[in-house]
Amino acid sequence: MPELPEVETIVRDLRPCLVGRRIMAVKVSRKSLRRPWQRQWQKQLIGRGISALRRRGKWIVLALDGEFFLVIHLGMTGQLRVVPDREPVADHTHVICQLDGSTEQLRFRDIRRFGSATVLEDPDRLETFFQESNLGPEPFDLEAAYFRRCLAKTARCLKAVLLDQRVVAGVGNIYADEALFESHLHPLRRGVDLSTAEAGRLRKGIVTVMNRAIHLRGSSIRDYIGGSGLKGRYQEEFRVYGRAGQPCPRCRKAIRRLRVAGRSAHFCPGCQNKCPIVPSNVC
């Protein structure tokens, strides 16, 4: 699933291609996405200029004339690109917006259809939409006192806390593992057990990893490509994620993997060893 660095890369790629352009026509496939497409949305989009493009968590927001918004979530396999309209339409393309002033289209493709495209009217409705999605603050806006409170009141393990979009928006499986390694914290440590210093170290670790990944255009493992069609390179820099059995870049001990609430967690038993119990399903 594209996480914050991948979504941020797409937004940065598409911003110069879309801002100032106008949507002239819209085509929508008959196959449903995670959120059902409403028929009136096509009419609401046509003729509207794109005034801004931004990211919120893992969501992409196109701000349109008349205080309308096209809000896109990429799900697990979503791709959002501007391409020449003569390019053959790939299977699983669900929304096509014809752009003015050229022969280009904005295309949203999603093979597994866990993504969504939603049209909202009014900034207040947009804010309500994100509130209903229970989005926490951005990693770059994560206040120390807030983050410490979130950790202090939960007995959940750190891996689960970081994946909770209500606590911090945009962190997924890859960057949770990488942030915990950066912070020298075991994924099974409980939030309530962290000291103030450890909580601060984790908060900074999240930002460090996110900035590093954004600089390298995110991670291309399966379907992800940026808005320009280029792949990310951060997968070449993984410290622990997907490296079970390989040497730790710091202490050279073998990276290990365990299952946490149905998800994989990768860690170094040497650098991240402060954990009261390591379960038997570690590999």
Q: 263 catalytic, yes or no?
A: yes
Query: What is the spatial distance between Cα 58 and Cα 73, in angstroms, rounded to a whole number?
Result: 7
Q: 27 catalytic, yes or no?
A: no
> Which residue out of 58, 148, 203, 243 is catalytically annotated?
58
Contact predicate 168/162, CB 8 Å: yes
What are the start-end ranges of the H helices in 19-154?
Answer: 40-45, 123-132, 144-152
Contact predicate 260/159, CB 8 Å: yes
What are the start-end ranges of the H helices in 92-156?
Answer: 123-132, 144-152
Strand, helix or coil for residue 18:
helix
Q: 2 catalytic, yes or no?
A: yes
Instruction: Kindly compute the dihedral angle of the four CA atoms of residues 197, 203, 207, 210, in this order, to the nearest 10 degrees.
Output: 120
Nearest Cα residue to 206 out of 182, 185, 240, 236 = 182
Query: What is the spatial distance between Cα 156 and Cα 251, in angstroms, rounded to a whole number?
Result: 28
Nearest Cα residue to 198 out of 211, 184, 187 = 184
Q: 233 catalytic, yes or no?
A: no
> Which residue out of 21, 212, 233, 263 is catalytically annotated?
263
Kindly provide the b/e burial profile for residues 244-282, where b requires at least 16 CB atoms within 10 angstroms of the residue's own CB.
beeebeeeeeebbbbebeeebbbbbbebbeebeeeeeee
Residue 166 sits at φ, ψ, to 5 deg, of -75, -25
Residues 6+ apart with CB under 8 A from 226: 6, 9, 10, 13, 217, 218, 232
Residues taking part in catalysis: 2-3, 58, 263
